[in-house]
Amino acid sequence: MVTSVRETKSDKLFLALNYMFLAVALVVVLYPLLYIVSASISSPQAVNSGEMWLFPKGITLDGYKLVFDNPKIWNGYMNTIIYTVLGTLLNLAVTLPAAYALSRSDFVGRNFFMGMFLVTMFFNGGLIPTYLLIKNLNLINTMGALILPVAASVWNIIVARTFFHSTIPKELQEAAHMDGCTNFKLFIRIVLPLSAPIIAVMALFYGVGHWNSYFPALIYLNDEVKYPLQMVLRQILVLQEMSAETTGAAISGDIAQAMNNKAEIASLVKYAVIIVSTLPVVILYPFLQRYFVQGVMIGSVKG
C-alpha cells in the first residue's frame, strides 16, 4: 500500500513559485531562439517593421538561398571547421597530458607549476604585448595566430586534473609500473581509455570556443580568404548597420532605395547565417551531453 505525503500550504506555495520561475526562464531562453528561426524565413519588411515578433510572416527561403549561393560564407564555414578541428586537437594534446601530470602525487614540483598556471588566470600581458609577440613569431595572417595563443586553458586544466585525481586510482598506476609500463604507455593505454567523459567535456568546451571565436581573426588576419564564419557574419552585421545609417541620411531617392534593398538583403542573410552557423553545435551537443554532465560532476564534486 502506497501512502502519499500531504503537502502543506508552504510546500504548495514553494512549488507554485518554482513553476512560475521556470516558466519565465523558459520564455526568456526560448523566445530569442524562436524569433531568430522565424526571422530567418520571414520577409525582411515584416521583420524590420516589427510585424513579425514570434511566428514567421511572409515566409521565404531567399535568405538561405543567398547563404548557400555565397562563396564567402562557404569559405568561412570551411575555415571555421579547420580552425575548430585543428585547434581542439591541439588543445586536447596540451591540456590532457598537463592535467594528468599535475594530478600525480609523485610529480616533483607540481604545486609550483600549478601556482604558476594560476597566476596567468589573474594577470596577463594584455592585447598589445600579445600582438607584438604574435608579430615577432611571424604568425600574423596565419592559422597559428588563431590556434597557438589559446592552446591551453588553465581552467580546463584544473577541471581535467581534478577528474584524473579523483577517477584514476593510484593503485592502478602502481600495478602498471610493476608490470613494466612506462608513464607514457600508462597515459596512452590506460588513462585515456578510462577518461572518455572528461575528453568529451574538454572537446566540447574547446570546440565551441573555437567555433564562436571571431576577435583573434579580427586582430590577426588581413586576408578575407582566411576569415572564419563568425567574421563573415560580423561583416554582414556591419554592412546592415552601415546601410541603415546611410539610408536614414538625406540622399537621393534612387540611392536610398538601393541602400534600403541592400539593408533588407543583409537582414535576411543575417538570421539565416545565425541559424546555419549554430546548427552544428546544436546537433553535436545532445551526443556529448551525458559525458558533459558526468565529467564535470565527477571532476567538481569529488575533487
The residues, any chain, with a CB within 8 Å of residue 178's CB and separated by 6 or more, are none
| pLDDT category of residue 232 using cuts at 50, 70 and 90 | confident
Q: Give me the pLDDT at residue 296, please.
A: 57
* 176, pLDDT greater than 50: yes
| pLDDT category of residue 291 using cuts at 50, 70 and 90 | low
Q: Give me the pLDDT at residue 247, please.
A: 45
CA distances in angstroms from 234 to 167, 273, 274, listed in the order given: 43, 10, 11
pLDDT tens per residue across span 101-152: 898 888 888 889 888 888 888 887 788 888 999 999 999 999 889 999 889 8
* 261, pLDDT greater than 80: no
Q: Which whole number is the average pLDDT over 271-294?
A: 77
Domain 62-301: CATH architecture, name and number where available: Orthogonal Bundle (1.10)
pLDDT tens per residue across span 149-166: 889 889 889 888 988 888
How far is Cα of residue 17 from the mean position of the Cα atoms in its chain?
Answer: 33
Instruction: Compute the distance between CA of residue 226 and CA of residue 211 in angstroms, rounded to an integer.
Output: 14
- Domain layout of the chain by residue ranges: 9-49, 62-301
* 36, pLDDT greater than 60: yes
| pLDDT category of residue 4 using cuts at 50, 70 and 90 | low
* 21, pLDDT greater than 90: yes
Q: Give me the pLDDT at residue 68, please.
A: 80
pTM of this structure:
0.77
| pLDDT category of residue 298 using cuts at 50, 70 and 90 | low
Provide the grid cell at 194: 578510462
Under DSSP, the state recorded for 5 is P
